[in-house]
Amino acid sequence: MYAKQTSGGDAVVPTLNSSAVYSNGFHQPSGPPQPAGPPLFSGPSAFSAPGKFPHFEQSGFPSTLPLDAYPPNMSAYDKHLVPQMPPVQGRRPGLTSSQHSELEAARRRAQKAAEGKRANATAAARRAKRRAANMSRAAEREDSGPSESQAANSDDDKPHVPLKDDEKEAKRLKRLLRNRVSAQQARERKKSYVSSLEDRAKDLETQISNFEQKVNKLEKENGMLRNVIKNIQPAGRASAQASPDQ
């Protein structure tokens, strides 16, 4: 005979009648099957109180044992009362903490690599799309440009000049204008510099003429002084000779 619950009502304890054993480890009664007796407890069980035994509640952790692992007289409700260990969240069974950390690091690296590949692919697709759009616009401009210009200048005998040639011509004219202005400014600077040099040369020539006049005047004075000195020397000799005779 099997007892479904103990007197305390907090565990499932099967009692054995004989030494016969099932293949799964439970004992098998040797005699004929006996009819089930009345339940041990007619009132509500201690396990029916919600929240009192959360690990033994039927809705919390359902039993995952095979059907042949339970005693034959155990009801479906009693089978669900067998405590089951909840699975460890975030860790695979059979792995140590170091192996689990290595697995998580490898998973993060793979996720980052996948995100980088997706970002590169997205950027390449955007560049290709932008390049294709630019090429299509350029092709449309080349296709539509000559036809519109020919329709506008149907009476003109001159060949059509593309827009790029007009832009080049405008740039060339601007460059020529800048060159002319810069050349004119250079000529004006050169003219002013030459005029300043000419004025300086005139001033130097005037100074030279003044110095020449001074030199001529000094030479004349020097000649006059020499003549005076020559006239004074004979008179001095004569007076010197006359004084000893006296």
In-domain check, residue 110? no
72 and 20 within one domain: yes
1 and 47 within one domain: yes
In-domain check, residue 208? no
126 and 70 within one domain: no
Predicted pLDDT of residue 205 = 94
Which three-class secondary structure state does DSSP give residue 146? helix
Instruction: Select the more confidently predicted residue: 75 or 63.
Output: 75
78 and 7 within one domain: yes
Predicted pLDDT of residue 37 = 52
Burial 98-119 (b: 16+ CB within 10 A, else e): eeeeeeeeeeeeeeeeeeeeee
Gap between the Cα atoms of 210 and 237, Å rounded: 41
In-domain check, residue 183? no
In-domain check, residue 91? no
Q: 3-state SS of 98-116?
A: HHHHHHHHHHHHHHHHHHH
Predicted pLDDT of residue 176 = 92
3 and 69 within one domain: yes
Q: What is the mean pLDDT of residues 209-230?
A: 93
Residue at which a domain ends, from 126, 147, 168: 147
48 and 124 within one domain: no
Predicted pLDDT of residue 187 = 94
Instruction: Select the more confidently predicted residue: 108 or 45.
Output: 108
In-domain check, residue 94? no
Confidence of residue 118 (pLDDT cuts 50, 70, 90): confident
82 and 122 within one domain: no
Confidence of residue 96 (pLDDT cuts 50, 70, 90): confident
Residue 130 is part of which domain span?
118-147
Instruction: Select the more confidently predicted residue: 174 or 98.
Output: 174
The residue assigned the tokens 């996948």 is 114
Confidence of residue 219 (pLDDT cuts 50, 70, 90): very high
In-domain check, residue 135? yes
In-domain check, residue 212? no
Confidence of residue 133 (pLDDT cuts 50, 70, 90): confident
In-domain check, residue 177? no
124 and 44 within one domain: no
Residues 182-185: contacts with CB under 8 Å, at least 24 apart: none
Confidence of residue 157 (pLDDT cuts 50, 70, 90): low
Q: How many domains does the chain have?
A: 2
Side-chain-side CA neighbours of 3 within 13 Å: the count stands at 13
Predicted pLDDT of residue 94 = 63
pTM over 0.85: no
Gap between the Cα atoms of 36 and 50, Å rounded: 28
Q: What is the mean pLDDT of residues 75-104?
A: 61
pLDDT at 11 over 60: no
